[in-house]
Structure 1
Amino acid sequence: MISQMAFFSVTKFYDYRLDICYLSSVYCSNCIYRHHFTVKNCFSSSKSSWVGVVGLEVHAQICSNSKLFSGSLVQFSAPPNSLVSFLDASLPGTLPVLNKRCVEGAVMTGLALNCTINKRSLFDRKHYFYADLPAGYQITQQRCPVAVNGMLTYNLCTGKNRNQTTLKSVRIKQIQLEQDSGKSLHDDARFQTLIDLNRAGVGLIEIVMEPDMTCGEEAAAAVRELQLILQQLGTCRGNMAEGQLRVDANISVHQPGEPYGVRAEVKNINSARFLARAIDYEIQRQIEVLENGEIILNETRAFDYKSGRTIPMRDKEGKQDYRFMPEPNLPPLIIYDNKTLPSNVNHQQVVNIDQIREQMPELPSVKRTRLVEKYNILTEHSITLMSEDGLMEFFETVAENTLANPRKVISWIINEFLGFLKQNNLTVRQSVTLPKHKKHISTLF
């Protein structure tokens, strides 16, 4: 039974200027496996003719104080069903009101990923019947999304000690706005499932990547780079442990020159490390199935991180009809620029792409290039400096305010400082003021 149900009526376009965006202090390493994770090399089977094909769908919760279409607050770990409006609970007579902050976050993300921004996009209803979706449909942008045809470039660590980097890229098919669903909480002891609608209606950016990756390591590196970009932009906090960034992986195998095989989808992976493990296991599983003369089922699977295996969830052989239809309660979303912005409208009530472009911060790739050129350090070192919040700023402060050789500072960070952080479960900002480190820094020059 749902308890603590609280309601908030929606009466106006909420003030997006009250939204607070900040960078997460969680680890967001960009393929720095040697410091935080141990991930295997890209998959290679005993029969090298098999090639993995991996595409991703990334769901990023937008940094916003309120939900996508209602005025309900967004807060992680609030009491169950305490942040639910009439609209979130799908009571008759309620209407969606679009949150401008969420639109700006999607547009900024599209610009950062080199996408074409559609000046006119549409909302659709995607129908399916789960207990955590009380309306029976999700408002999304299947037909005409806010952004299309982008590119994400990322660094893949290679070499025996992962001290070399290879520049890779993956195409972005589209970026769309959509609602998040509620949570189903399973009580095995009482044999019941409870529904928490606090998350229902939270704004999501869904980023659909083309199947340009071949293994788990590439996918994990791409997600880490995307996570870093979103955090730098302030459009998503990127804390995967809290479900702010979730990944679905579409995986198949084929032989060169042959059509792509039947794909399986692994849902709701909330860790880049688990993503790599899930993909590599699924590729290996599919190859073994095919080599045994069996067929691959088009199914949805989940990753069991304890066993390191993917397990079936539901069969997708009978293709589900989501009955997409235009959302009748929302007009087309119009994005303006300085040339098309009407003079007779309130500029605070419209989204201006040129204004958003001017507000964009320095992107991670630009920062890495600047670090390499300014301090004459290696590319892999610049990646390390951006692996944690505050680490790059710490390095630049030491390099600018002392006579220390930048490479000597980097060596100390890699060999001592990062290990100290991990051992003591500290963030960079928590540790840099410790007397031990202040004394050690003073000996570097």
Structure 2
Amino acid sequence: MRVVIVGAGQAGAALAAKLRALGHDGEIVMLGDEPAPPYQRPPLSKAYLLGEMEEDRLWLRAPEFWADSNVELRLGQAVTAIDPTAKTVTVGGEALAYDHLALTTGSTPRRLPAAIGGSLEGVYTVRTLADVDAMRGEFQPGRRVIIVGGGYIGLEAAAVGAKLGLEVTVLEMAPRILQRVAAPETSDYVRALHQSHGVKVLESTGLDRLVGDDRVEGALLKDGRQIPADFVIVGVGITPNTHLADEAGLEIDNGIATDELGRTSDPAIWSAGDCASFPWRGGRIRLESVGNAIDQAEAVAANILGAGAAYEAKPWFWSDQYDLKLQIAGLNMGYDRIVTRRGEGDVASFWYYRGADLLAVDSMNDSRAYMVGKRLIEMGKSPVPEVIETAADLKPLLKG
């Protein structure tokens, strides 16, 4: 049985490795459009951009792992078509047959339209190794950078810029940074952190266009102000890579739609990672995280081999900014109350409730709160909010 994996990122690598770990001895072919072997993306906007991590430390596996595991790794080759009837993918002009096909195609960062300066030299996005390599030389002390978008990627890049001595301005169109993903309490904490490092955070601030002839020179705001810049980083979200699946006639619903096993609308085609949506508590979600990419891919690997086990997502995320380790467990959709727990110094956690139900927790430099919160959510336990606020030790809540 030949399994072909399209996408050589975190999900694709996890899926291939899990197939072998579960005893699959048939062919595995992993196709990646980037020239680099499977690598970690989170450090790109943090340690790698700071120069604290060498390229070879990004690799998910040592280069010899793939050959030793008899995984055929084809890099720098984009798949251009899928033929579900013939059960082939087209890559490098070749029709490659599969018995099972796994789409782990990831996502693409949204870019600013060319009409408002998005194609000017000196305008970058943060997604691939090549993206970060292209911008690293821009990070020189005293230079001015504008970050368009106050989400986690943009804020991580802002932290790197501030640590390296740049003049950093964050533009956020919404009333507050992190508005789409976090409570006002988390936004307030993170905003204050950046401001303490000299970052200008401009919220409720719309971008009219970037200015410059061939190279960006600044940004013209909707209110008429103009801010100079030596370069710009755009962090306004990502789009799941669904074009191959769409052209092949697969169902698309906020990503490549899968069932609870990870199978698409074609029984021989599976999907996992940023590009895949799946059933969740009566609805459908798509998770953009390393944890989901690994867990979902490993579940798909088992189901390709006949396990027949539904994927049970256990969402968790993290972000590193300056000395802040922000850890998030659960999904905060539909929350109606925030419970705040303060520790010493800069330690804090924010607990999301809907009615009496605990949904999620954001922990700031508080790994214990994160671990307890994650366990509680996974166990379906919801402590009384007042206990979260006042308990000297949260760990006993796991036994109650």
Same-fold status (TM-score > 0.5): no
Higher relative contact order by CA 8 Å / sep ≥ 6: 1 or 2? Answer: 1
Using the size of structure 2 for normalisation, the TM-score is 0.29
Higher radius of gyration, 1 or 2: 1
